[in-house]
Copies of this chain bind each other. A is one copy, B any other.
Amino acid sequence: MPRAGLSTARVVEVAAELVDERGWEALTLAAVADRVGVRLPSLYKHVGGVDHLRQPPRHRAARRRGVERSRGRAGRRGGAASAVAGAAGVGPRPLRPVRGHPARAARCAAVDPDDEAASAAATQPLFGRVRDLWAAGGPVLVDAARTVRAALDGFVTIEASDGFGLTARWRPRSPGCRRRSTPRCARIVSPGQG
């Protein structure tokens, strides 16, 4: 058996590709294993399970960066605010970079809720955009309505599911380290037309 040369990062990356291409529904270990050219159980040598692949990555690093930037450039244009907003694609051409890339979207949207500075900085531009659209009225109001509707969805859903609670993070196996309990992962169904 030749080795596939996998790593945790590689598996997570392929999973994200899969989600971007075929949506969250298509994210199964079988699909990931198939794509990296390995049998399914082999993935468990690199990731903790399917939940691991569903988690948005690296809050801690993002948090540190966010704090640094917002300290240095508070109040200015640019900095953490525009950086995160730019990453999420919120702006004149909303969501260009994430449209059709759900995994990337999850990554952008996942700001550490405990980091007030980063959270505030991340979302201020969106807030401003909604306000402007709303004030403008007319045809643009449709965009505003949709934006705020999405806000309501996210707000209600997250509050109702775990109230911005924390979830445990998976770590690679190491000797003497038992796997901890399954992280609490709330799922919502995207509200299409019912």
Show the binding face of A for B, using Cβ within 8 Å.
23-25, 54-60, 88-90, 94-95, 98-102, 104-106, 108-114, 116, 119-120, 122-124, 126-127, 130-131, 134, 141-142, 144-167, 169, 183-194
Q: How many copies does the complex hold?
A: 2
Docked Cα-Cα span, A186 to B23, in Å, equals: 7
Contact of B191 with A184 in the complex, beta carbons under 8 Å: no
Contact of B190 with A190 in the complex, beta carbons under 8 Å: no
Residue of B nearest to A112 (CB): B193
Q: Which residues of B contact A88 (CB under 8 A)?
A: 152, 156
10 pairs from A and B in contact (CB 8 Å cutoff): A95-B156, A102-B157, A113-B193, A116-B142, A123-B149, A151-B154, A151-B155, A153-B154, A187-B189, A188-B188
Q: Chain B's nearest CB lies how many Å from the CB of A30? A: 17
Contacts A116-B142, A127-B134; A106 near B154 (Cβ below 8 A): no
Contacts A90-B152, A123-B145, A149-B123; A190 near B169 (Cβ below 8 A): no
Docked Cα-Cα span, A69 to B187, in Å, equals: 32
Q: Which of B98, B145, B166 contacts A120 (CB 8 A)?
A: B145
Q: Which of B120, B131, B153 contacts A158 (CB 8 A)?
A: B153
Contact of B130 with A161 in the complex, beta carbons under 8 Å: no
Q: Which residues of B contact A158 (CB under 8 A)?
A: 150, 153, 190-191
Residue of B nearest to A118 (CB): B145
